Amino acid sequence: MDITGSEFVLAIIALSTSGWLLNNWIRARHGYSLEDEWGGKTERADGTEAQRLKAENRELHGKIDAMQDRMIVLEKIVTDRGYSLSEEIEALRDTRSSDAKELGGAGVPLGLDKKERA
């Protein structure tokens, strides 16, 4: 297959253009500035917007981390023995007040020895 002079020139132009497009695509994909037709550099227009979004993203991640820490503390409080202990105390108060009403307000022992500990 013989290539004439004009076909050879067109092949070189096509290869150069496709190489330039591939180069700019790779540069754009990785965030580098792009080259224009005359070798000048063109910075990305959305640089300030991207920085703002990154800062907002960091702030939101910080809030999520803080909320997760608080949730862990709340879970510890709920599953802690002290929480169930306070429920038992409230139940004893209710029992004491109902017993006191039955006996005319006299002091009534709580009967802690009757109840088994968990």
CB 17 within 8 A of CB 11: no
Q: What average pLDDT score do residues 94-107 get?
A: 62
Instruction: Decide if 21 contacts 13 (C-beta within 8 A).
Output: no
Note whether residue 51 is domain-resident: no
What is the average per-residue pLDDT within 35-44?
Answer: 68
List the structure tokens of 66: 């803080």
Split into its structural domains, the chain has a count of 1
- Of the candidates 72, 108, 69, 73, the one whose C-alpha atom is nearest the C-alpha of residue 92 is 108
62 pLDDT more than 70: yes
For residue 85, tell me if it sits in a domain. Answer: no
Model pTM score: 0.35
Lowest mean pLDDT across 27-36, 78-87, 90-99, 109-118: 109-118
For residue 34, the enclosing domain spans 7-44
- pLDDT the model gives residue 18: 95
Lowest mean pLDDT among 4-13, 20-29, 73-82, 100-109: 100-109
Q: Is residue 94 part of a domain?
A: no
In a domain, 11, yes or no: yes
